[in-house]
Structure 1
Amino acid sequence: MKQNIIEYCLEKKGAVPTHPFGPESLVIKVEGKMFALIFENIASQPVINLKCDPVIAANLREQYDNVRPGYHMNKKHWNSITLDGSVPEQDIFLMIGHSYDLVVKKLPKSLRESIAESS
């Protein structure tokens, strides 16, 4: 599941993998802005942090036990999802798309246009 999640993130236009926190954590950025952070928790389970609209974030936390406020992130705007199979992969893909869209929407217009034009 983790590899599918990473591949899906990297398919987003302009997505770049980085390791600013060391080799254990993968940060995926678009135009220098993070939209996904993948790491292992203390139980050695893979986790992904994703940006989320606060209202949607609260709904997802109610819907899934393994969607929690973002670990080491702004708890209002980020969720941590444990990748243990309890949250369907397709739902995680939707969450990734939402995170990516939120980040791209905040970029300057010229950067948004250059992402849209890239193939």
Structure 2
Amino acid sequence: MNYEWLDEYCLSKQGAKKDFKEEWNATRYFIGEKIFLMVGGDKYNKAIITIKCEPFFGQMLRDEYEHIIPGYHMNKLHWNSVYFDGDVPDNVVKQMIDMSYRIVLNSLSKKLQKEILKDA
């Protein structure tokens, strides 16, 4: 899979922003000041997407797909990494992104959530 839709999909989320962190060689997608997705590489420079998930759901995905691993350089309970060259279907990655966005949005203050969602 190549997930060419990824950037547009992430930025279509209400209030989403991105930046590039040079020292990590990674593109990060934020809601508020918190990351909900990161695109980078592993220690072999293989492209990966790192996404926050509910722990039970994340483990279920790791059990089902060999190309989903515990989050690379992230909390292994809450984050999962998906290899670009793997076989994880687009709809599964989109479901993971939606979950990550929701988890991170809900972790923000109610005031910030209102500001982000005011145009929704």
Scaled by the length of structure 1, the TM-score of the pair is 0.91
Q: What is the CA-CA distance between 1:41 and the residue it aligns to?
A: 2.9
Letter in structure 2 aligned against 1:112: Q
The Cα offsets for residues 53-101 of structure 1, whole Å up to 9 and x where unpaired, read as 1111110100100111000000000000112250001110110000000
- Residue 104 of structure 1 corresponds to which residue in structure 2? 105
**CA–CA distance in structure 1, aligned partners of residues 13 and 38 of structure 2:** 14
The Cα offsets for residues 17-54 of structure 1, whole Å up to 9 and x where unpaired, read as 11234483100001110000101334443210001111
Letter in structure 2 aligned against 1:98: M
Unaligned 5+ segments in structure 2 are none
Which deviates more, 15-24 or 3-12? 15-24
Distance 1:15 1:107, change over 3 A: same
Letter in structure 2 aligned against 1:60: L
**SS in structure 1 at match of 2:14:** coil
CA contact (8 A) 1:2 1:46 kept: no
**CA–CA distance in structure 1, aligned partners of residues 93 and 66 of structure 2:** 14
CA contact (8 A) 1:15 1:30 kept: yes
- Residue 7 of structure 2 corresponds to which residue in structure 1? 6
- Residue 79 of structure 2 corresponds to which residue in structure 1? 78
- Residue 95 of structure 2 corresponds to which residue in structure 1? 94
**SS in structure 1 at match of 2:98:** helix
Identical-pair percentage: 34
Unaligned 5+ segments in structure 1 are none
Q: What is the CA-CA distance between 1:118 and the residue it aligns to?
A: 2.5
**SS in structure 2 at match of 1:3:** coil
Question: What is the number of equivalent residue pairs in this alignment?
Answer: 119
